[in-house]
């Protein structure tokens, strides 16, 4: 009995799916299948989107740092290259007016692509289930070549 308990403890530490004590005590195939599906859905729809949103925050901070958008907005009216003449002020504003829309478009495209990735991640299981469910009907309606 002690050896079996030690094996169960080792299994529960090594495989996260077996951490549920009810599952170990039941040891039935339907309970294992239900727990596995529940664990997969928890990971797919809660843990990974949370990780992706944290990664998105970090990605946007790095993109803002590399594109210098916030720094250029803060120093919009300062002269270009520390030239305090009228030409330096005018050039600073002109260059920032040209660069800020380009940098903003790059920043927004990074944000859009990453949000599309997260949306695709969330939509992948329902779309897969839909295609699996409709596959038998392809031969019935002669859609298959």
Q: Is residue 76 part of a domain?
A: yes
Q: Is residue 98 part of a domain?
A: yes
Query: Quick one: pLDDT at residue 122?
Result: 96
Q: Is residue 10 part of a domain?
A: no
Give the integer Cα–Cα distance in Å for 145 and 138.
9
Q: Is residue 54 part of a domain?
A: yes
Give the integer Cα–Cα distance in Å for 99 and 41.
44
Hey, what are 112's tokens? 């859009």
Q: Is residue 120 part of a domain?
A: yes
- Kindly report whether the global pTM for this prediction surpasses the value 0.85: no
* Residue-by-residue pLDDT tens, the chain, 145 positions: 566 566 556 555 555 555 555 555 556 788 788 888 899 999 999 999 999 999 999 999 999 999 999 999 999 999 988 889 999 999 999 999 999 999 999 999 999 999 999 999 999 999 999 999 988 777 766 655 5
**Residue written as token pair 């949370």:** 50
Q: Total domain count for the chain?
A: 1
Q: Is residue 1 part of a domain?
A: no
Q: Is residue 81 part of a domain?
A: yes
Domain that includes residue 84, residue range: 27-140
Q: Is residue 130 part of a domain?
A: yes
């Amino acid at each position: 009995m002690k050896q079996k308990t030690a094996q169960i403890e080792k299994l529960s530490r090594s495989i996260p799916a077996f951490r549920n004590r009810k599952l170990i005590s039941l040891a039935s195939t339907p309970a294992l299948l239900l727990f596995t599906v529940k664990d997969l859905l928890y990971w797919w729809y809660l843990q990974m989107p949370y990780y992706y949103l944290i990664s998105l925050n970090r990605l946007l901070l790095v993109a803002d740092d590399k594109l210098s958008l916030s720094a250029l907005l803060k120093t919009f009216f300062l002269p270009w290259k520390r030239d305090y003449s009228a030409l330096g002020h005018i050039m600073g504003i002109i260059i920032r007016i040209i660069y800020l829309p380009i940098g903003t478009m790059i920043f927004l495209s990074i944000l859009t692509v990453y949000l599309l990735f997260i949306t695709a991640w969330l939509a992948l299981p329902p779309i897969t289930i839909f295609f699996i469910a409709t596959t038998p009907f392809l031969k019935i309606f002669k859609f298959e070549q």
